[in-house]
Structure 1
Amino acid sequence: MDELTHFRNEIDQFMEFHPQSPLDETQRENFDGLAYFEPNTALDLIVPVEQFASTEPMIEMETSTGDVRPYRRWGRITFEVNGEPASLTIYSDIYGQEFFLPFRDATSGKETYGAGRYLDNHRPGLADLGNGRFKIDFNYSYNPYCAYQSIYSCPLPPRENWLTVPIRAGEKNFAQGPAH
């Protein structure tokens, strides 16, 4: 898990020092790193994906501020968490190049941000391996910016991506964030 530790350290540095960090001055002054679950190798998966037809219509995903953002339902993954079945829909941009996996789980609102967490292909946790397979590493799941400041407009996971199982991997609640 050296790569994961390095990645988390880089994120902490970004959050504390980068001018584009979502944290305000007070949050930065009190920042002592993000809280994470211990690395969980059982939630680092390579799974088959059932790709939807390219004619799948765009959907409007509601955001935390009441706006909507367009996404295409790209494909469905099925996996197990502690012996329990689970499935999630992967979304894409209009071109099918940018992948986005928003989800809520049994930890949402308790151990993790209530509105859900994300994986995307701009970070190491989500990758199209080709041949109908995806790498899904929930250890890289992260809070959207609205977990830190309510001024951000963040897509909310659609109901089809609300899991009943706990995903105890990745980022936990941000103690200094707004209540949701």
Structure 2
Amino acid sequence: MTTLMASLLWLLAYLSCVSAVPVEVFASNDTSIVRRGTTNALQYPYSLQLLLSVVGVHQYRWFIYQGPQGIAVDPCEDHDGQMPAEFKRVFYGVMFQDEDDAINHPPFPDRKVYTKIEYSNYDDCKYIGTGIDAGQFRCGDHYIIDCAKDPRYDEATIKCDDDQLPKFHRGYNCEF
């Protein structure tokens, strides 16, 4: 019992020395994606942004947009036919069902999420979903980029027309 009390006192003393770190909160109208510094922005000028869309009760579809690195796409502009020239929808996925409320916590894209991507002088570039992680941007076997959770993944679902469909949620992105 004495050892337990001593351990608890030690733990309490240790935890009282740890300071809290504030969490950065993004403004709802901010369209920046921040992961890499500006030094790397020159190294990785492009991005793929994977957004999950709900199209019905437990029915979902992946959208992939190609555009500049560091700027978040607004999927509502695509829906309204007002997509800026620097962005291009490169994938409009097959509908799938999910029992959970996937729109608020997008799952990893499965193997059906696959599309060719135009990039530089390469003719063999593609995005490949795996179902176990965020997927990869690949140009053959010589240029492979692992995708990651979008920095704005935890933000609220995007509603284009009040409570009407479509609704989108940022899932994953690849910078290349």
TM value normalised by structure 1: 0.30
TM value normalised by structure 2: 0.30
Whichever structure has more strand as a proportion of its residues is 2
Q: Whose relative contact order is higher, 1 or 2, with alpha carbons under 8 Å and at least 6 apart?
A: 1
Larger gyration radius, structure 1 or structure 2:
2
